[in-house]
Amino acid sequence: MSVAETQARIAALPCWTGPITMTPLNGGITNVNYRVDDAKGSYVARFGDDIPEHQVMRFNELASARAAHAAGVSPALIYAAPEITVIEFIESRTLTPKDVRAPDMLPRVLELLKTFHRDAPKHLRGPALIFWVFHVIRDYSATLDIQGYNDIALVNDLVRISDELEIAAGPFDMVLGHNDLLAANLLDDGARLWLIDFDYAGFNSPLFDLGGLASNNGLSETQEHEILESYFEAPVHDKLLQRYSAMKCASLLRETMWSMVSQQTSQLDFDYETYTQENLARFRAVYNTYLQIKG
């Protein structure tokens, strides 16, 4: 769909009060986003359909977003139509990985995540999805095979590693996970933090979100121990550290293969090839550390 057609679809929604202005929001690598201002306020209009190859189902995103808002961690969902979601716009700054790592910020981010894990499931309604990273990786492998990816031997090797990590990461607890803890999905309005973008939300091990928080934001080893101790409210023992490290590897492996699939399927103007290589290098570094921890 062209830019003009997308904007026309958004402008035609019945939720606006009076004339609107529409401004593109940059930075999304899954959806097309606009800020929309009308007589009553400001909103974000997100344009995107189901993306089955990425396990993204919009009914699940909407249910998770409503649950997150009810839990007090996310802006309100104002309106939903096929392919379009309208969310309350928060005057805020988007965090960077450097922001997340800051000593005064990281505990606030972790508390926001704990609140989502603990309270959002109480408000979730309707069918719920499981986001099982190891299934996602296997499914990505099948998609890449069908798409004729140019290095299927690498893909097969990554799946072999993923199968080993799945065994090492257990046994598993279960929470409602965000499953995409990039700094770009955290907002600071000056008084509080907000969690946004629930495309990949689903029940999962909390270790996946903790590992994603660390790997996506460059946490130090000391900070990783701190978030584990704070989250589980207990000292970090060797078995937990090994399970966490395996899941952290899986989070980076999934991000790498997400980008591989996006290279083949996405129409967005984004350099997925470079993103693939960056995440593959990060995965290999973290995996080598995991092997040392495993012994």
Q: Tell me: the pLDDT tens digits for 28-57?
A: 667 889 999 999 999 999 988 999 999 999
Class of domain 3-88: alpha beta
Tens digit of each residue's pLDDT (9 = 90 or more) over 245-289: 999 999 999 999 999 999 999 888 889 999 999 999 999 999 999
From the list 100, 101, 27, the residue with the least C-alpha distance to 270 is: 27
CA angle 195, 198, 204 (to 5 degrees): 100
**C-alpha to C-alpha distance for 102 and 88, rounded to whole angstroms:** 27
Other C-beta atoms lying within 10 Å of the C-beta of residue 235: 9
Architecture (CATH level 2) of domain 93-294? Alpha-Beta Complex (3.90)
The boundaries of every CATH 3.30.200.20 domain in the chain are 3-88
Q: Residues in the chain with pLDDT < 70?
A: 1, 27-29
Residue 29 is predicted with a pLDDT of: 66
CATH 3.90.1200.10: which residues of the chain?
Answer: 93-294
Structure confidence at residue 266 (pLDDT) = 87
